[in-house]
Amino acid sequence: MSQQIIRTNITLIFILKNIHYKNKEKNLENYDLVFSDAVKYAKKIYSTIKSLGKLNETIIIFFADHGTGVGERFGERNYGVFTYEETIRTFYLFLGDLISKNKKSDSLLRTIDILPTILELCKIKIPLDLIGKSFSSYLLTSNEKLSDSSFTFSETGGLQGPFPSPMEPNVFCIKSSTHKLIYFMSSNKWELFDLKNDPNEIINIYDTGLELQEKLKEHLLSWINREIS
């Protein structure tokens, strides 16, 4: 009897997961509703600061540590399993009295660039060598362009999916302004994508003779094998 119940539960979970992947439009609709709620909180934060008379001495920053999937990839129900664009591409929104208005950039940046940017905006100096690079001058100057970082790195260890690894990362990627190389450690599999011509990362061009591949691979392996102190 207990074996039958287990089989029934497994079947039900499988059906529910398949429903998720077959309803991407509905999932996206639900995501938009949640995002709208987040906007309400953001407006409340802004209006509270304004009512306190502190807008001219406050910098407001909205950003996210990851995005979320809505069923684009089988195995990825929300985030944390893969390192495709839908879950690692995020945004920064800076608001402030001295920050240029209506500026937008799609340049490649890193989360570690936020701290030195905040410190420079606030004119705070600390006796540390920070890894990130400030982009405060772009925020303060209306005609300045924002340069791409050479590379960004992302890694994850999924709680579920095809190769769960909750205790340590096992999926890694390196991203340039034009390409992304992904390494699945558990299956020793590589994927390379042309982000300009294939932004949805559908066509794997790994081992097709692209010269950039080995350079990206060298940098990524160096990142994976780095010593963390």
Taking only the tens place, the pLDDT of each residue in 4-53 is 444 444 444 445 567 888 888 898 898 888 888 889 999 999 999 999 99
pLDDT reading at 227 higher than 90: no
Reported CATH class of domain 58-224: alpha beta
pLDDT confidence band for 161 (50 / 70 / 90):
confident
The alpha carbon torsion through 126, 127, 132, 133 (nearest 10 deg) reads 70
The residue-averaged pLDDT of 113-135 equals 92
Here the contacts of 161-168 (C-beta below 8 Å, separation 24 or greater) are 161/75, 161/76, 161/80, 161/81, 161/82, 162/75, 162/81, 163/187
Residues with Cβ within 8 Å of residue 28, at least 6 apart in sequence: 70
CA distances from 72 to 8, 23, 66, 148 (A): 27, 10, 16, 27
What is the pLDDT at residue 143? 85
Q: Is the pLDDT of residue 121 over 80?
A: yes
pLDDT the model gives residue 16: 53
| pLDDT score at 197 | 97
pLDDT at 152: 95
Instruction: Give the pLDDT confidence of 165-214 residue by residue, as tens digits.
Output: 999 999 999 999 999 999 999 999 999 999 999 999 999 999 999 999 99
Tokens representing residue 97 in the block? 């009295």
Detail the DSSP E strand segments found in the chain.
59-63, 92-96, 152-156, 171-175, 179-184, 189-194
Confidence of residue 1 (pLDDT cuts 50, 70, 90): very low
- Quick one: pLDDT at residue 229? 53
Is the pLDDT at 144 greater than 90? The verdict is no
